[in-house]
Structure 1
Amino acid sequence: MDRGDGRTRYVLRGEGAGSVFVIDEKTGNIHVTKPLDREEKDEYRLIATATDSQTERALEPSSQFIIRVQDINDNPPVFEEGPYSATVPEMANIGRGRHMLHPH
């Protein structure tokens, strides 16, 4: 519905709208304002609407979407009670069998 004449204005509502997520009113591009932390919040539900900037009326039905924050391993592994030793049979296949890791 955007004819590129400047009359279309994009509006964003929902969780984090205006703080975590901001929308460019002219293009509809959505930007993140800060790094997202999955441990803090793993998904956001947002609604974007294209409106006529003069009448404020929606030009088409609103688009609802979910932003899911993917997990990355941002915490270094912690090993306690080391050192550790493990035994693996000679000629063992990759990924076969269970081998226990034991602290000394």
Structure 2
Amino acid sequence: MLKKYQMRAAPHYHILLWIENGPDVGLDLLEEVCSFIQDRITCHISDTNTSPDLNFFATTYQLHKCSKYCNQNIKVRKVYVSRCRFDFPRLVRDSICINDAENSL
């Protein structure tokens, strides 16, 4: 486990977990892996009326805000434009997308 701090001094962790009886990426069918993830992992921002504190902390500290660290100026048709090197903002997906599953670990 690796603990890191970033600009707002909020700690975050990089960890690798093995889940008992979980599918193996690269060995099991990709559909099985996606189904396993879909059934167990979710993400949403709580409503301000239901959980105002949780909504405040999530929107204040857990959303990407571009800064000098991630913004890059790139030339597009003779004009420089600012672009996030992490490709934010990203569109919300309706389904799971696993990129290069066999080489990800």
TM-score (norm 1): 0.21
Structure 1 or 2: more strand by fraction:
1
Between the two structures, name the one with larger relative contact order (CA 8 Å, sep ≥ 6).
Answer: 1
TM-score (norm 2): 0.21
Structure 1 or 2: more helix by fraction:
2
